[in-house]
Copies of this chain bind each other. A is one copy, B any other.
Amino acid sequence: MPAHAHRSQTVKVKDVAREAGVAVGTVSRVLNDHPAVTKELRERVEKAMAHLGYEVDVTAQSMRAGRSRLVACAIRDFDIPRFALFIKEAEAVLREAGYTLLLASTTNRPDVEIALLRAFRRRRVDGVMMTLSDEQHRDVRAALSEATMPVLLIDRDRIEALDRVTADHREGARLATSHLLGLGHRRIAMLVGDLKAFPSRSRLEGFRAAYAAAGIAPDPRLLRDDVLSSEDAYRATSSLMSLAEPPTALFVAAMDMLGGCLRALRTMGLAVGDGISVVAGSDSDLAELYWPPITAIAWDLAAMGRHAATMLLERMRGDEIERGRGLTVPTELIIRGSSRPFAN
């Protein structure tokens, strides 16, 4: 492609049409691979486009077509290291299909979520994948039902007929808790995020299910919810380990909170595995390489990203598919040295 040439101002279909000696409609047909164009004309038009360095204006296309080939992704906070994998894979799938990714952070606030949905609609975004701070929030639900484009929920509870991809947090948490109970621990503390959102609720369910299966009741004083940052995890761990009867095991179930927990233990002079067992709710280099290595729950965020993008593409294509599909990726427990038998 030479692309050099007459970059005087911007070249438009009209210019290409004149250069090729055809009508604008024909140029448009060539651009859109319409079958009813003779090979000869097609070549003439393509030559003219190359010669003039023509580039379609996507805005103008969107204008007429009513769709933008944009897909928006709005999540709580980009700054969750492993979540980048989700976005990376989703972007790759979408780009492959000719879509461009719009990114926005909801900062976990309902009003921002609503404002973003509105902004996306104003941009004629073709599809949205997002998290929600609170699936029950009335105004958010209203905004979702007013959305004119398909919305796919990322790791959130079922809402009406929206598609969703989730990880099996319930099972992950159940496995982790059973594992600790099986090692003889009875005082297991759980650090979990915002219970208004699906992952934390599921994890708590799994935790309780494991206790129930063992016929024991967990000590409610050992539950810390609303652990949303590493600093929160630091504070929660410090306060838990300062209890008169501290826990013998810590289940740091919120994503990416392990650092704060370990920092607190180190500050207090406590060694993981020696008296206090630790299980992390998500795997990481830190979990793998810490000494002792930290038992962790793992799941495939890359697959989640791919599935999310693929499901959304299908929905945008308008295929006749049942509404409200859900896809759950499995979680597994990777047992390492940080979870040891309880020795009293």
Contact = CB atoms under 8 A, between A and B. Distances in A.
A25 to B, nearest CB: 20
Interface string A70-97: 0000000111111111011001100100
Interface stretch (A32-40, A99-107, A238-246, A332-340): A99-107
A85 to B, nearest CB: 6
A287 B94 CA distance: 35
A63 interface: yes
Main secondary structure of the interface of A (DSSP, over half): helix
Interface string A22-57: 000000000000000000000000000000000111
Contacts of A262: 289
Nearest to A285: B259
Contacts of A56: 122
A258 B286 contact: no
Given A59-B62, A122-B56, A285-B258, A87 B78 contact: yes
A79 B68 contact: no
A124 B58 CA distance: 8
Interface size grouping (class) on chain A: 35 or more
List the number of copies, as a whole number: 2
Contacts of A288: 259, 263
22 contacts: A7-B146, A58-B123, A59-B63, A59-B123, A59-B124, A78-B88, A79-B84, A80-B84, A81-B82, A92-B105, A95-B104, A100-B102, A100-B119, A101-B104, A102-B103, A103-B103, A259-B288, A263-B288, A266-B289, A284-B286, A286-B289, A291-B291
- Which are the 10 A-B pairs with shortest beta-carbon distances? A81-B81, A259-B285, A103-B103, A78-B88, A78-B84, A286-B286, A58-B122, A58-B123, A59-B62, A79-B84
Interface of A: 3, 7, 55-60, 62-63, 68, 77-85, 87-88, 91-92, 95, 100-105, 118-119, 121-124, 146, 230, 258-259, 262-263, 266, 284-286, 288-291
